[in-house]
Structure 1
Amino acid sequence: MHTLDVSNLHLEYGFKRVLWDTCLHCETGQVVGILGRNGGGKSCLMQVIYGGLRLKDQYVAIDGRVLLTRERRPEDMRYLLQQSFVLPGLSVKQVFDDFGVAFESFVEDFPDFVGTARKRMKTFSTGERRMIEVYAVLASDSKFCLLDEPFSFMMPLHVQKMKEVIRREKERKGIVITDHYFEDVIDISDELFILRSGKTWRVNGREDLELLGYIRNTDGIQDR
Structure 2
Amino acid sequence: MSKLHIDSVTKSYNNKVILSDVFISCRKNEVKGLVGRNGSGKSTLLKIVFGTEKADFKFVRVGKKIIRNISDGRNLINYLPQDNFLPNNIKVGTIIKLFLPKKTRDILFQNKHVLPFLHKKNQDLSGGEKRIIEILIIIHSNAEFILLDEPFNGVSPIMRAYIIEYIKKMKSSKGFIITDHDYENVICLADSIVHLKNGFLKEIKDKSELVELGYLTKSIYTNNNKA
TM-score, normalising length: structure 1: 0.91
Aligned to 2:86: 86
Alpha-carbon shift at residue 64 of structure 1 (Å): 2.7
Let me know the Cα RMSD of the aligned residues. Answer: 1.9
Alpha-carbon shift at residue 17 of structure 1 (Å): 1.8
CA contact (8 A) 2:50 2:69 kept: no
Aligned to 2:33: 33
Deviates more, 1:29-38 or 1:53-62: 53-62
Letter in 2 for 1:170: K
Which SS does the other structure have where 2:21 is aligned? strand
CA contact (8 A) 2:128 2:156 kept: yes
Aligned to 1:190: 191
> Where do 5+ consecutive residues of structure 1 fail to align?
none
CA contact (8 A) 1:210 1:218 kept: no
Which SS does the other structure have where 1:96 is aligned? helix
Aligned to 1:159: 160
Number of residues of Structure 1 aligned to a counterpart in Structure 2: 220
User: Structure 1, residues 39-98: CA drift from partner, whole Å, max 9, x if none?
Assistant: 100011001100112224221111132112342443111110111000111211122222
CA contact (8 A) 1:28 1:170 kept: yes
Deviates more, 1:100-109 or 1:114-123: 100-109
Whole-angstrom CA distance in 2 between matches of 1:152 and 1:194: 20
TM-score, normalising length: structure 2: 0.90
Task: Give the fraction of aligned pairs with identical amino acids, expressed as a percent.
Answer: 27
> Where do 5+ consecutive residues of structure 2 fail to align?
none
Alpha-carbon shift at residue 162 of structure 1 (Å): 0.6
Alpha-carbon shift at residue 217 of structure 1 (Å): 2.1
User: Structure 1, residues 152-173: CA drift from partner, whole Å, max 9, x if none?
Assistant: 0000110001111101111111
Deviates more, 1:27-36 or 1:64-73: 64-73
